[in-house]
Every structure is written in structure tokens, then in C-alpha cells.
Amino acid sequence: MAKGKNVLTTGDVAKICNVAPRTVSKWFDTGQLKGYRIPGSKDRRIPLTELLRFMKAHNIPAAALPVGKIRVLGGGQQRAVQLDVGRRLES
């Protein structure tokens, strides 16, 4: 997963969840994992916040996320956003 990425490919999600990319596609196609398709393509994209929700709902450890590579950008609320993301990863 690239630094600062807040939308993931099925390949990114597969690596994080330690499953095959086809498994992620099935989760997406059955509505278990929310996201969107790239217009004019069959490629899928999954927002990081949705992946966090999915992982929590399915008891997938957040330790699998490359936390050191996630960067949160923001203005005056930056610290609050970082703390919120940290709490989501820990819970």
C-alpha cells in the first residue's frame, strides 16, 4: 500500500487480510465489503475506512495494517484525526 493512500485496490486488501485477491472480489461482489468500481473498468476500489469497518466486523486483526505507512493529513484538526484513526486501529 502506498503512503498516504486512503483508497485501496483488491490486491492491497488481499495482502492486508492475508487472502487471495479473488476472495476480496467476492466480498465486494456480495456486498460484505463496500467500495466502488473505476468507471470504464472492472477494477474495484475500497476506502480505508470501509476496510477498517470490515476488519473489525470480521475480527481480522488491525495489526495486519501497515500502520507506519498510513499518513493522515489535515489542518488544525490533524491531531484529533490521528487519534481517531489510532483508536479505530486499536479497537
Q: What pTM was computed for the model?
A: 0.67
Domain boundaries, the chain: 7-90
- Architecture of the CATH domain 7-90: Orthogonal Bundle (1.10)
The CA–CA distances, whole Å, from 60 to 29, 38, 46, 65 equal 19, 26, 16, 10
Residue 69 confidence (pLDDT): 47
What is residue 8's predicted lDDT score, i.e. its pLDDT?
94
pLDDT averaged over consecutive 10-residue blocks of the chain (91 residues)?
76 93 96 94 93 92 64 51 59 57
Return the H-helix or E-strand segment holding 80: helix 78-90
State the pLDDT at residue 39: 92
Q: Given this model, what pLDDT does residue 5 score?
A: 75
